[in-house]
């Protein structure tokens, strides 16, 4: 294999390796980023919490169904009780010990029972519980929407900063190429005696500084991409991500639809539903001091080691020889809870007033945020236009200074100052364009609708 074929093979291998690296990289659009954030683990956790809250509504409605409890008991107790001591809550209590005096000899007793309890009529208490659970479910959904909105806003903001740093990398790389070209020219001029050798040394110093600046920006870009992958919930490495919406750093958005009412803002909806929860909680407390109607029924069989005539037969204690049933209605009213309920009503009324005041403050905050965002957006548009003019002028000036340096009309200091001014103007232009898009994003956030921003993407 000759040298030519080796070079061709080497180039082919390099091209294939480059294509392989590009194929492994993942391209992200800003609009795609919004759906990626929605699948981020933290956001998914908020979504699961919201979905879990809906079961509180079902639980509140489920209280309309009767309770049926069945169980079996066995134990040893004193002679004085026909069936022995029963665990409370299931077996209906009975009286009638078989002896006139106290006999403390233990005898066995068993029982099996089924207890039915039903509250068909709650005088509005069940409805209040259902309304409160429904309000809490709505609040959980509003919290999820607000958290998702804030996370998507943060992800887009991080994306914009990454695009800006990517633009800086190009500017700093171009600055390095300009410095290298100047260094090569200074070497030629120094050899020809047209320029002092100190120019070469100065160019070398400027080149080292330019390369250092590039390394610093590369570090910042890597950190920004790492944060972006975290917000998007991606396992990819920062170097494996490509940003597709990089053209926005070279163009300005035009107009913005800000007609959305503040009532549609996720933050407003969250505090609105928070107020609704307080209203439902107050209604539940107000209905707590109402009567309760219970329907109950009980059927059980028992065995006792003591007969009705007082004789002891422990074997009978383990058999279910007596069968019983009962049913009844109970209407209860918490008379002495009036003071407690009254205090709770005063407490929840104050909490409701607090939520109303907080909602008024949110309205004011959103209104001022929208006004400020609109003003900043308009101002940044004007600043970006001036930055574009400055950048073009700096580029023309540097080209002229470069020709003047080659002709011996100016020294190294003037040339490097012009090159620095060009770099500053290029980065200033990128920053101005970025700030304009950031201002549009802030305006979208103030309106509670990210489409105000995404609709301007091409």
Residue 100: what pLDDT?
55
The whole-number average pLDDT for the span 56-60 is 87
Buried b (16+ CB within 10 A) or exposed e, 339-365: eebeebeeebeebbeebeeebeebbee
Residue 25: what pLDDT?
78
Residue 290: what pLDDT?
86
C-alpha distance across the termini of the chain, in Å? 50
**What tokens appear for 77 in the block?**
């107790």
What percentage of the chain carries pLDDT values higher than 70?
A: 84
Check pLDDT > 80 for residue 126: yes
Of 195-204, 315-324, 346-355, where does the model show the most confidence?
346-355
Does pTM top 0.85 for this prediction? Answer: no
Q: Is 115 helix (H, G, I), strand (E, B) or coil?
A: strand
Q: Name all domains of the chain by residue range, CATH numbers in brackets.
A: 25-64+122-291+337-454 (1.20.1600.10), 68-118+300-332 (no CATH)
What percentage of the chain carries pLDDT values higher than 90?
A: 45
Residue 112: what pLDDT?
74
**What tokens appear for 41 in the block?**
């683990």
Cα 308 → chain centroid: 70
Residue 18: what pLDDT?
42
Residue 8: what pLDDT?
37
pLDDT digits (tens, 9 = 90+) for 399-435: 999 888 888 788 888 988 999 999 999 999 999 999 9
pLDDT digits (tens, 9 = 90+) for 65-120: 888 888 877 777 666 555 555 666 666 655 444 555 566 677 666 777 777 888 88
The whole-number average pLDDT for the span 330-354 is 88
Question: How far apart, in Å, are the Cα atoms of 160 and each of 163, 167, 448?
Answer: 5, 11, 19
Residue 153: what pLDDT?
95
Reference 160, options 455, 442, 447; nearest CA is 442
pLDDT class of 12 with cuts at 50, 70, 90: very low
CA distance 30 to 409: 49
**What tokens appear for 37 in the block?**
């954030």
Check pLDDT > 80 for residue 11: no
Other residues' Cβ atoms within 10 Å of the Cβ of residue 121 = 14
Compare 176 and 329 and report the one with higher pLDDT. Answer: 176
**What tokens appear for 88 in the block?**
């409370």
The whole-number average pLDDT for the span 165-186 is 90
Sole residue written with tokens 């009780």:
81
Compare 249 and 199 and report the one with higher pLDDT. Answer: 249
């Amino acid at each position: 294999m000759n040298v030519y074929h080796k070079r061709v093979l080497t180039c082919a291998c390099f091209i294939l390796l480059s294509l392989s690296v590009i194929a492994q990289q993942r391209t992200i659009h800003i609009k795609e980023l919004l759906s990626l954030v929605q699948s981020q683990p933290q956001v998914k956790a908020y979504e699961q919490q919201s979905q879990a809250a809906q079961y509180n509504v079902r639980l509140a409605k489920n209280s309309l169904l009767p309770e049926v409890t069945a169980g079996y008991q066995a134990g040893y107790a004193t002679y004085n009780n026909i069936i022995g001591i029963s665990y409370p809550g299931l077996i209906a209590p009975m009286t009638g010990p078989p002896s006139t005096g106290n006999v403390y000899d233990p005898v066995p007793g068993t029982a099996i029972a089924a207890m039915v309890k039903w509250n068909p009529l709650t005088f509005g208490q069940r409805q209040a519980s259902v309304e409160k659970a429904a309000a809490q479910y709505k609040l959980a959904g509003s919290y999820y929407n607000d958290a998702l909105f804030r996370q998507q806003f943060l992800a887009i903001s991080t994306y914009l900063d990454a695009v800006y740093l990517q633009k800086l990398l190009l500017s700093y790389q171009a600055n390095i190429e300009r410095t290298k070209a100047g260094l090569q020219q200074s070497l030629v001029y120094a050899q020809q005696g047209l320029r002092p050798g100190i120019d070469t040394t100065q160019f070398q110093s400027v080149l080292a500084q330019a390369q250092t600046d590039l390394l610093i920006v590369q570090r910042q870009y890597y950190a920004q991409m790492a944060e972006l992958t975290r917000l998007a919930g991606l396992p990819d490495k920062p170097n494996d991500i490509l940003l597709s919406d990089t053209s926005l750093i070279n163009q300005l958005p035009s107009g913005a639809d800000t007609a959305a009412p503040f009532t549609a803002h996720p933050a407003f909806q969250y505090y609105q539903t928070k107020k609704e929860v307080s209203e439902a909680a107050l209604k539940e407390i107000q209905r707590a001091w109402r009567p309760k109607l219970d329907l109950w029924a009980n059927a059980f069989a028992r065995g006792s080691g003591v007969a009705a005539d007082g004789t002891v037969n422990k074997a009978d204690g383990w058999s279910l020889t007596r069968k019983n049933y009962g049913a009844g209605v109970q209407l209860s009213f918490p008379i002495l809870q009036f003071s407690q309920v009254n205090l709770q009503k005063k407490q929840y009324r104050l909490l409701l007033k607090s939520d109303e005041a907080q909602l008024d403050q949110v309205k004011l905050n959103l209104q001022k945020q929208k006004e400020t965002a609109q003003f900043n957006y308009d101002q940044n548009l004007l600043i970006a236009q001036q930055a574009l003019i400055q950048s073009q002028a700096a580029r023309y000036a540097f080209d002229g200074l470069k020709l003047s340096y080659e002709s011996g009309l100016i020294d190294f200091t003037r040339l490097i100052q012009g090159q620095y001014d060009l770099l500053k103007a290029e980065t200033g232009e990128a920053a101005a364009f970025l700030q304009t898009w950031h201002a549009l994003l802030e305006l979208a956030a103030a309106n509670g609708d990210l489409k105000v921003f995404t609709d301007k993407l091409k």
